[in-house]
Amino acid sequence: MINRATLFAGRRQLATVVTGVIASGGLILLASSPVDAASATQVVTGATQGGLLSITAPGALALPTLVSGSSTAATSLGSLSWTDTLNDSIVSSVTLAATNLWHAAGAGLYIPWADFTVTVDPTVTGNAMNTGSAATVPAGSPYTLAGTATTDFATYSTPITLATASATSEGTWTQAANQIVVAVPADTTPGTTFAATIQYTVTG
């Protein structure tokens, strides 16, 4: 038989335990109260530069030895890059033209541009931040340079197109593997140094 006094004492003990848990819980809640904080803001502004249309030609090039009656090996023209960030609706293009290979010290000593063959790099590499359609290389390579024949060192051949970009294309591109071959006439004066100028133009 259960003694009433024993049952009552058990209930008091249980109540004491529960009360202790609640009290402990109260202490935990007090320990995790919010920390005071303050905040402030910063205004960041920026302005774009004006649109840019520019081109960077490769450095100076020394051709292989010019052997009369034969053609040079295909020689890389170097890395060409251009930028179009005008953000207009005009299609951009890049062209190449050249003067005769000329010997300034000897009147009439030259190799005409009609003896130049240019092979255009089919790959145009765009920067990661470019927008719009990628620049493309039109069909037609390799090209033999043409134009009205001249005997001077200042007149350029008819330009050939290296690459084009759409009206929505914006950014910077690189073309690194254009090549030139020069066919050297058999009557070219031996022991002579010649020089030509290649002109690169971007329009857009």
Ordered by start, the domain boundaries in the chain are: 1-33, 53-203
Q: Which residue has the higher pLDDT, 54 or 19?
A: 54
Per mean pLDDT, which range of 26-35, 88-97, 113-122 is the poorest?
Answer: 26-35
How high is the pLDDT of residue 34?
78
Q: Which CATH number fits domain 53-203: 2.60.520, 3.30.450, 2.60.40, 3.40.50?
A: 2.60.40
**Cβ pair 110, 197 in contact under 8 A:** no
Per-residue pLDDT of 98-108, as tens digits, reads 999 998 666 66
pLDDT reading at 171 higher than 50: yes
pLDDT digits (tens, 9 = 90+) for 59-92: 999 999 999 999 999 999 999 999 999 998 888 9
Q: What is the mean pLDDT of the chain?
A: 86
Query: pLDDT at position 108, please?
Result: 63
Do residues 117 and 177 make contact, with C-beta atoms less than 8 angstroms apart? Answer: no
pLDDT band at 134 (very low <50, low <70, confident <90, very high): very high
Instruction: Give pLDDT, residue 19.
Output: 42
Residues paired with residue 160 on neighbouring β-strands, in sequence order: 96
- Distance, in Å, from the CA atom of 154 to the CA atom of 164, rounded to the nearest integer, reads 26
Q: What mean pLDDT comes out for the span 21-28? A: 46
> Residue 52's closest CA among 94, 93, 89, 82?
82
pLDDT band per the 50, 70, 90 thresholds, residue 31:
low
Q: Can you tell me whether residue 116 is helix, strand or coil? A: strand
Q: pLDDT tens for residues 173-187?
A: 999 999 999 999 999
Give the confidence band of 15 by pLDDT, cuts at 50, 70, 90.
very low
Quote the CA–CA distance of 190 and 56 in Å, as a whole number: 34
pLDDT for position 30? 52
